[in-house]
Each structure stands twice: as C-alpha cells, then as structure tokens.
Amino acid sequence: MSEFDLIRRHFTRPVPAGILGVGDDCALLPAAPGAWAISTDLLLEGRHFYADVDPRALGHKALAVNLSDLAAMGAQPAGCVLGIGLPAVDAAWLDAFAQGLHALAEAWGCPLVGGDTTRSAAGITLSVTVFGRVDARRALRRNAARPGDDVWVSGTLGDADVALRLLQRERGEAVAASGPLAEVLAGLAPEAAARLLASTRERLEWPQPRVALGLALAGVAHAAIDVSDGLLQDLGHIVAASGCGAVVQAARLPLSPALSALPPAAAWQAALGGGDAYELCFTASPAGRARIETLAARTGVALARIGTLEPQARGVRVLDAAGLPLDGVPAGFDHFR
C-alpha cells in the first residue's frame, strides 16, 4: 500500500459542509468569531501505550486526550489533525485504529481534516492536534480561580492508575513499590488482581472526554483543568496560576465501586496522584452550587464537591476523614522527574 492509498483508505472521511478536509496542502476551517482553542498531545509506544494495545482503543484515546483539553477550556471541537509514524504498514491494525479515532471524532463533531504519515524506526508515534472554538471571555482558564470557590471534580478518579499498575505487574515490569496503593496491590491474589483490572481497565483505555460538561461550564466555572497527571498536581496548577491555595477532603473524592472496595488510603492515593483520569477539575462560586448540580444532571456526568480554595498560597492540602492532614500524599506524574 502506498502512503497515499493508506491516507485515502484509513484517514479520509467525508467532512461537514464548509470544511476542506484531507487531500490538499492545508485543511480549511471556516473562520468564526471568538478564539481558536488549540491543543496537541504526543503518544509514544512504550511510554504512553503498549505496542499490543487494542488499536481501536488507541485511536480513541489519541483523540480523547486532546478533546479533554478542549473540554477543560470550555471549547467546542471543530477539527483535528493526526501525525503518525509507523514502523510497518499493517492494514488491519490501521483499520481498527482509524475506526476508533473516527468514531470519537464523529461523536463530538471533530473531523480529522489532515495530518502527516511517515515511516518510523522508533515504534509507533502519534501526535494529534485539536482545534476548537471558544469565546475567549468565557474560556475556562487556570488562572481565574478565586479564594472561597468550591472545588469540583467530575466522574470518578483513580481507576486508570490502578489499571496501569496492574497491567505493569501482569507484564512483570518494575512497579512503584512504596505507598499504601502499591502495598494493597502487591498483596492481592492473582484472581483478585485480575478482577480489579477487569473493572478498571476501560477507564485507562477508553477515556471519555467531558466535552459537554466543559461547554456547559463555560461562563459558570471560574477555572478548570483536565486531570491528566493526577488531581493534586493538576489542581496544583490551578492554585499556582491563581495565587491561592486549596483544601481537599479526601473522604469526598469520587470513587468507582471497584476503588471504594479498596482500603481508603490506597484508593485516595490513586485518586489524588493517579494520571490518565481525563475528568474535569474546576472551581466555582458557592453561589453557583444549585446551577452546577442541575448541569450535572443535564450532562449526565456526576459532579463531586471535594474542597474549597483559601486565600493563602499554600498549594493543595488534603485532609482525611477526621479533618487531619493526610501525609505521604503522592505528587503526580512528571515526565522529567
């Protein structure tokens, strides 16, 4: 298959009227009032996914993590481009990958309008860039949080982290050995570990970007971020940018049934430090509580109020169920640490 056959077959789909998609030197998206919200994410084999991951899930996730950034800004998806480096051409793999990507693109009105395709000696390399639209005055910036705000988070946290640790263990890879979560997972019998992996794995491989929620929050929330590196670290970005601090109640962290069944200290570690959650963390005035609860019902995404912002810029502090500082709280993910 030639490069151009590959592009035609796997990456060319009809696009909405008014858009020029794959096939010319550039894609054309109509200019509209407001701002472009643009975000890009790189996914590397071995670092962000395993070579044997379900290719349909990989296509989904490559776009999902970018749509999550649009959601966190309160932006409406408009289109995306894909850079892909492949060691070899495997038509069945590409078919499944493209289906996963196109299905999510269609679901959120974010057509693939261009990209670049190349051979890569270094394993599968993916780069997706999304374009969205937002009224810049309503965009959910990280620096717009205010002391006294409530801190909210969507969905549940920690499942993807647990799934990743269990996959690493299954593959015999070195896993982080300290902390209550590592201890609990190390102590699980193989059948219990397999059950826990089965009930958490979907959150790792098929993240659902909170696009509708992000759009509904524009103009309601003050600041927002998507939880990609761990709640503590990501909420830490909000308070650092906004010049305030946060107090989070561990007992209010939203947990799936699978994580609720773990000892609290282990579940909290996953919820506070675990990456790849792709939930939205946002802050809003307490006066907006009723409105936010209505919008949770309307968008079908559960929202938990997990803490408050304080004027002192002391970072993020976490209190346990008794109101005492939770120590040994994990820091979250950093590629260069």
Which of residues 16, 23, 46, 315 is near ligand ADP by CB under 6 A? 23
Which of residues 57, 86, 105, 112 is near ligand ADP by CB under 6 A? 112
**Interaction of residue 14 with ligand ADP, rule CB under 6 A:** no
Which of residues 5, 24, 90, 106 is near ligand ADP by CB under 6 A? 24
3-class SS of residue 48 = coil
Instruction: Decide if 250 contacts 307 (C-beta within 8 A).
Output: no
**Interaction of residue 164 with ligand ADP, rule CB under 6 A:** no
Which of residues 15, 19, 38, 115 is near ligand ADP by CB under 6 A? 115
Give the interface segment with ligand ADP, choosing from 108-116, 211-219, 261-269, 279-287 (CB under 6 A).
Answer: 108-116
With tokens 């679901």, the residue in question is 107
Instruction: Decide if 296 contacts 303 (C-beta within 8 A).
Output: yes
Residues in 110-139 at the binding interface with Mg ion, rule: CB under 5 A: 116
Q: Which is nearer to ligand ADP, 25 or 191 (CB)?
A: 25
**Interaction of residue 117 with ligand ADP, rule CB under 6 A:** yes
With tokens 């949770």, the residue in question is 296
> Of all residues in this chain, which one has the CB nearest to Mg ion in the complex?
116
Q: What is the Cα–Cα distance from 231 to 152, expressed in whole angstroms?
A: 11
250 DSSP 8-state letter: G
For residue 119, the cross-strand partners are 86
How many residues touch Mg ion under the rule CB under 5 A: the total is 1
Q: What is the Cα–Cα distance from 125 to 274, expressed in whole angstroms?
A: 24
Minimum distance from residue 49 beta carbon to Mg ion (Å): 24
Which of residues 7, 211, 235, 259 is near ligand ADP by CB under 6 A? 7
Q: Which is nearer to Mg ion, 90 or 116 (CB)?
A: 116
- If one counts every other C-beta atom within 10 angstroms of the C-beta of residue 61, the result is 28
Instruction: Decide if 200 contacts 160 (C-beta within 8 A).
Output: yes
Q: Which is nearer to ligand ADP, 26 or 189 (CB)?
A: 26
Residue 18's Cβ-count burial label (10 Å; 0-12, 13-18, 19+) is exposed
Q: What residues have CB less than 8 Å from 79, skipping those under 6 apart?
A: 15, 19, 27, 29, 110, 111, 112, 113, 130, 131
Q: Which is nearer to Mg ion, 24 or 90 (CB)?
A: 24
Which of residues 43, 63, 71, 84 is near ligand ADP by CB under 6 A? 84
Minimum distance from residue 52 beta carbon to ligand ADP (Å): 21
With tokens 């205010």, the residue in question is 146
Q: Catalog residues that contact ligand ADP under the rule CB under 6 A.
A: 7, 11, 22-25, 82, 84, 112, 114-117
